[in-house]
């Protein structure tokens, strides 16, 4: 492990000088103690560190930029997701960060992104915040003492949440900035204390780097069964990705970000960042237990000021309350963070229109179609102005973090499905019996029964029926699930109302997919709804 003088020298070469002190690779107890002594958070009665992130309780997608520089510009999927910022404005922000850190205490944390040693990336995180450094220790792969002796960061993240940009002079949209420079291999973060910006910046780096090495980067959870059968579960926030992957009968590989190489799948992270609003011990016992463990970080969770007791149901600060904890906090975890090639690929959607089947078997082309579509739905009340279900399409189930053209990721998916024979499924964890407001959310017991039947091979030989609108292959029976539930049209009071709503959603799918007309093969374009 480097000594303090060596770290000061390395930081100086990087352009970070005149800080008052530096704390290099503090272990978790030291970081927790520092966070408390600096007033960055409070301990709850059971031991987690409870922190507030101020005005920003989620990511700031409009404030994320990629530097438009020669080495990467031709590879970037420029547009609403990946906004360019000039090298000149990047240099202004870097100078602002360099000036800001003078006479400040800095925490330097070295971690790896990725458990597969052939593809992992060494990342150095320099922060003014002790609890953010603890977050980094929880979320990423911690190097061994031997690895730290020769640790050389490939990417460096400068995380200064209390430093604000000036949009009039810095080329930003607001006082928040998240700027990725693939040429300099740096990330600048400021103006927001939401720790998820660190996590997703690293994921953006991996989404740029891995596919160019032939490795598919995936916004998914993954687990492995007793027979060594791996499965990945794609899904946007609120679809059940974290919940469904935490299965006592299967070992968790990871809950959010993975790579798929010629060796199999591997977790990019070393921890979990789970939503905990309305979390219950009965429904999600493994995740719930982490909110009672010493050292877990709880973001924006309400705590009684007198008793220090948590209230996981209170959303006064945000619906996006979070728990950050290492994978070791969960009992049923696959050691080493790797698994074989997945036998099953699950795509999760929360259809608030109530018309998609609760489970469907997908062809390779349908899997690529739905992967590129990345559909889920927001419900009334989740955002200002949303008064009815709103379709959301996030390509590759993670558009905000995909630096390359979506076709790059989709082609890799198609190649790996063909090469390894993975079975593909679409599972709707959303509404049945009608749309949001009239129907009800699919019972999690039914969803688990359907997922288990897909994973254990029960559905391999079950007869399927083609959905007339969406073209999906729907099993006619699943153990533990009423047959009526499997056909969503049978759960509605009015078949006419169902058809109207289904055609409405199908048209949304088709409209969204027009953006891929020139990049997707005809067989994939034809794998969508039949309207």
Catalytic residue among 132, 221, 239, 242: 242
The answer for residues whose C-beta is within 8 angstroms of residue 143's C-beta and 6 or more apart is: 110, 111, 112, 122, 151
DSSP state of 324: E
Catalytic residue among 44, 53, 57, 59: 59
Would you call 256 a catalytic residue per the annotation?
yes
Would you call 441 a catalytic residue per the annotation?
no
Q: Are strands 302-303 and 297-299 parallel, antiparallel or unpaired?
A: unpaired
CB 302 within 8 A of CB 316: yes
Spatial distance between the Cα atoms of 136 and 153, rounded to a whole number of angstroms: 15
CB 248 within 8 A of CB 284: no
Spatial distance between the Cα atoms of 494 and 27, rounded to a whole number of angstroms: 60
Catalytic residue among 64, 164, 322, 423: 322
CB 271 within 8 A of CB 326: yes
CB 44 within 8 A of CB 303: yes
Catalytic residue among 92, 124, 164, 200: 200
Would you call 59 a catalytic residue per the annotation?
yes
Catalytic residue among 63, 256, 351, 467: 256
Catalytic residue among 96, 219, 416, 423: 219
Measured from the Cβ of residue 480, the count of other Cβ atoms closer than 10 Å reads: 11
Query: What DSSP assignment string belongs to 184-237?
Result: TTEEEEES---THHHHHHHHHHHHHHSGGGT-EEEEEEEEE-TTS-EEEEE--T
Phi, psi at residue 113, to the nearest 5°? -105, 110
Spatial distance between the Cα atoms of 97 and 158, rounded to a whole number of angstroms: 8
Residue 170, H or E segment: helix 167-170
3-state helix, strand, coil in the chain (%, to 5): 30, 25, 45
Phi, psi at residue 13, to the nearest 5°? -65, -30
**Which residues are registered as beta bridge partners of 375?**
393
Would you call 243 a catalytic residue per the annotation?
no
Would you call 219 a catalytic residue per the annotation?
yes
Question: Among all residues, which ones are annotated catalytic?
Answer: 59, 200, 219, 237, 241-242, 256, 322
């Amino acid at each position: 492990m480097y000594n303090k003088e060596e770290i000061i020298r390395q930081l100086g070469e990087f352009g970070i000088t005149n800080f008052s002190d530096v704390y290099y690779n503090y272990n978790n107890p030291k970081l927790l103690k520092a966070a408390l002594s600096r007033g960055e958070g409070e301990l709850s009665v059971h031991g987690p560190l409870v922190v507030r992130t101020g005005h920003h309780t989620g990511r700031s997608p409009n404030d994320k930029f990629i530097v438009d520089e020669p080495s990467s510009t031709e590879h970037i999927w420029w547009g609403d997701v990946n906004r360019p910022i000039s090298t000149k404005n990047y240099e202004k922000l870097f100078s602002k960060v360099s000036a800001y850190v003078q006479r400040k205490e800095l925490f330097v944390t070295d971690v790896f992104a990725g458990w597969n040693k052939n593809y992992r990336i060494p990342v150095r995180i320099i922060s003014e915040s002790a609890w953010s450094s603890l977050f980094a220790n929880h979320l990423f792969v911690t190097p061994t003492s031997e690895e730290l002796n020769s640790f050389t960061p490939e990417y460096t993240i400068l995380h200064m949440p209390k430093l604000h940009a000036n949009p009039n002079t810095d080329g930003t949209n607001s006082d928040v900035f998240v700027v990725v420079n693939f040429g300099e291999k740096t990330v600048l973060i400021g103006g927001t204390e939401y720790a998820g910006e660190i996590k997703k910046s690293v994921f953006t780096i991996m989404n740029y780097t891995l596919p160019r090495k032939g490795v598919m980067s995936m916004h998914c959870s993954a687990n492995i069964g007793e027979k060594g059968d791996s499965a990945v579960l794609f899904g946007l926030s609120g679809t059940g990705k974290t919940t469904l992957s935490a299965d006592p009968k299967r070992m968790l590989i990871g809950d959010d970000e993975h790579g798929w190489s010629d060796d199999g799948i591997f977790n990019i992270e070393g921890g979990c960042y789970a939503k905990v609003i309305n979390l219950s011990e009965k429904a999600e016992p493994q995740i719930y237990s982490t909110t009672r463990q010493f050292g877990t970080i709880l973001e924006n969770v309400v705590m009684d000021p007198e008793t220090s007791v948590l209230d996981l149901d209170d959303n006064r600060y945000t619906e996006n309350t979070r728990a950050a904890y290492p994978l070791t906090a969960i009992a049923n975890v696959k050691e080493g963070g790797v698994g074989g090639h997945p036998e099953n690929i699950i795509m999760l959607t929360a259809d608030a229109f109530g018309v998609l089947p609760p489970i469907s078997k997908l062809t390779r082309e349908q899997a690529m179609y739905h992967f590129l579509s990345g559909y889920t739905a927001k419900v009334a009340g989740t955002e200002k102005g949303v008064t009815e279900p709103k379709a959301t399409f996030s390509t590759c189930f993670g558009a905000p973090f995909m630096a390359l053209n979506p076709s790059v990721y989709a082609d890799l998916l198609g190649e790996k499905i063909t090469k390894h024979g993975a079975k593909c499924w679409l599972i709707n964890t959303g509404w049945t019996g009608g749309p949001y407001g009239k129907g009800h959310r699919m019972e999690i017991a039914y969803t688990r029964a359907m997922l288990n039947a897909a994973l254990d091979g029960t559905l391999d030989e079950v007869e399927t029926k083609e959905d007339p609108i969406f073209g999906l292959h729907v099993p006619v029976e699943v153990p533990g699930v009423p047959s009526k539930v499997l056909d969503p049209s049978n759960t509605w009071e009015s078949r006419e109302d169902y058809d109207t709503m289904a055609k409405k959603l199908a048209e949304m799918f088709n409209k969204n997919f027009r953006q891929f007309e020139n990049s997707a093969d005809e067989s994939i374009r034809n794998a969508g709804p039949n309207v």
